[in-house]
Amino acid sequence: MESAGVVVVGAGIAGLTAALCAAEWDEVCVIAGDGPGASSSARAQGGLAAAVGVGDAPVLHADDTLRAGAGLCDEPRVRELAAEGPDVIAWLTRMGVPFDRDPTGALLLGREGGHSRARIVHAGGDETGRFITEALWRAAVRHPRIEIRRETCVAVAQDPTGRAVGVWTWDGRAYHGVAARRAVALATGGVGALFGRTSNPQTALGTGIALAYKALATLANLEFVQFHPTLWIGPDGDVMLLSEALRGAGAVLVTERGAPLFADPADNLRTRDVVALAIAKAEEAGERVLLDATRVKDVTSRFPSIAARLARTGIDIAAEPVPVTPGAHFLMGGIEADLAGRTSVPGLFALGEVACTGVHGANRLASNSLLECVAMGRRFGRAMCEEPSVRGETPVEPRWLLQPTEDAQVLGELAPLMWRCVGLVRDEPGLCAAIERLDELRAQYPGSGAVVTASLIARAARWRRESRGGHVRRDAPAPIASYARPSRMSMEQEISNLSLAVK
């Protein structure tokens, strides 16, 4: 079994930041899968939130985050993360990220839904994620202490005590083992592709959650999936997110008759759960909704990749409204972790979207995700200087191996089922039907991480018999005080919430 000091699974912004910072202390092996271009990070358009503008402050950023989180945020962690924002921008600048600036050299700041100030930092207009990912990837590729392997992680290796001591991987032909003397970090992204209609890449199947679940880690808040309100779906089924920064720049939502979706224009910048539900309600009434950016000054130069991609299909965003619809975008829940990524399993860390730190609560504030990715990766790196470097015992045989071919086989049925029964608006009959079918699929495809994660999301959604943040139940349309706490799940006890566990 080959070895490294630290093994990082994932090559998005969280994983690359973690690798670069951990490499200050030890050798790092990155299990990069299909590479950084396949990550959600590379697709991120909106930017990174940080209180760096005149009249702004981390306390204001934290207050906005708490408000969006609908009573489920971990307040001390929110305030820590917001305080770290300015230093994250400075660190990324040193790493070579070319943030957009005005002629004086000051950062250009945008505003997005739920923010009381303009505090969204961009690079390349609407290509922030790509610019950050590429800068970190270049640094990782040339780092002498970082090895990059284009393989797929199929299990967390554990010793007889349960400590994570490495990973098992698959290269398309054979299995390999990579031992980790200090730690294993999962930075595998989200779950959007489970729902079919999504802004995420098709690799976002929640497999990191399945890997952690099978390693007996505690999971939290899996019911909280954020649906972005403004996805454009092309005639060939191609999907593109239309950044919330467009609305921050003055674009508004209208019906196909040209009427404003919101009576108050300011409501176009309400939190994503509110806007997505408003669009869904209009669609239920038979109305298409469009995003009208025709009055946004210099829209094609400010949002070049969006404008160019639409232009290739014959749409001029500067001259005509663009049809939009909600789609799965971000998971607020995940593997329960602190801000350095520590989980309930010794030696196992979780970073970025796959982690649930409590920062996002029931509904993520726009552009906090990239901030969290970088902040967690940096904290993970610092934690490695304290993590003992030991040669552990020989790993026990894995109790489960991910089979990527099974994910591919089942996705055609899984994604429509999840969208229909566990999508934007849920209810008891739909969730029960989903759980029943998902249990059948788990038996039929025992190696599918996608099915495992989908089943856990559905069970968590059934337990939470209220509507809060991104989780909406038509049969329980209001928040309930007794549910103002995280849901927690583990392999031994799928939901641990006193006597309210789903049977």
- Percent helix, percent strand, percent coil in the chain, to nearest 5: 35, 20, 45
d(CA 472, CA 423): 9
Instruction: Say how far residue 148 (Cα) sits from the centre of its chain.
Output: 22
Ramachandran class of 152: left when φ > 0, alpha when ψ lies in -120 to 50, beta otherwise: beta
Q: Are 438 and 410 in contact (CB under 8 A)?
A: no
What's this model's pTM, rounded to 2 decimal places?
0.94
The verdict on whether 272 is a catalytic residue reads yes
- Domains, the chain, ordered by start: 2-220+332-383 (3.50.50.60), 230-328 (3.90.700.10), 399-489 (1.20.58.100)
Q: Are 374 and 352 in contact (CB under 8 A)?
A: no
Catalytic residue (choose from 79, 130, 272, 468): 272
Q: Are 227 and 332 in contact (CB under 8 A)?
A: no
d(CA 498, CA 321): 50
Distances (CA, A) of 19 to 23, 44, 157, 339: 6, 20, 19, 16
Q: Are 150 and 314 in contact (CB under 8 A)?
A: no
**Partner residues linked to 146 by β-bridges:** 28
By DSSP bridging, strand 355-356 and strand 334-336 are parallel
Question: 18: buried, middle or exposed (CB in 10 Å: 19+, 13-18, 0-12)?
Answer: buried
What b/e readout covers 299-309, taking b as 16+ CB neighbours within 10 angstroms? Answer: bbebbebbbeb
SS3 350: strand
**Partner residues linked to 255 by β-bridges:** 289
Ramachandran class of 429: left when φ > 0, alpha when ψ lies in -120 to 50, beta otherwise: alpha
H or E stretch covering 489: strand 488-489
**How long a stretch of residues is the chain?**
503
d(CA 205, CA 208): 8
Q: Which residues contact 111 (CB under 8 A, 6 or more apart)?
A: 117, 118, 119, 120, 248, 269
Q: Are 123 and 99 in contact (CB under 8 A)?
A: yes
Q: Can you give the pLDDT of all 503 residues of the chain as single tens digits?
A: 789 999 999 999 999 999 999 999 999 999 998 888 878 888 887 799 999 999 999 999 999 999 999 999 999 999 999 999 999 999 999 999 999 999 999 999 999 888 999 999 999 988 899 999 999 999 999 999 999 999 999 999 999 999 999 999 999 899 999 999 999 999 999 999 999 899 998 999 999 999 999 999 999 999 999 999 999 998 888 888 998 889 989 999 999 999 999 999 999 999 888 999 999 999 999 999 999 999 999 999 999 999 999 999 999 999 999 999 999 999 999 999 999 999 999 999 999 999 999 999 999 998 999 999 999 999 999 999 888 777 666 789 898 999 999 999 999 999 999 999 999 999 999 999 999 999 999 999 999 999 999 999 999 999 999 999 999 999 999 999 999 999 999 987 755 443 334 43
Instruction: Say how far residue 446 (Cα) sits from the centre of its chain.
Output: 25
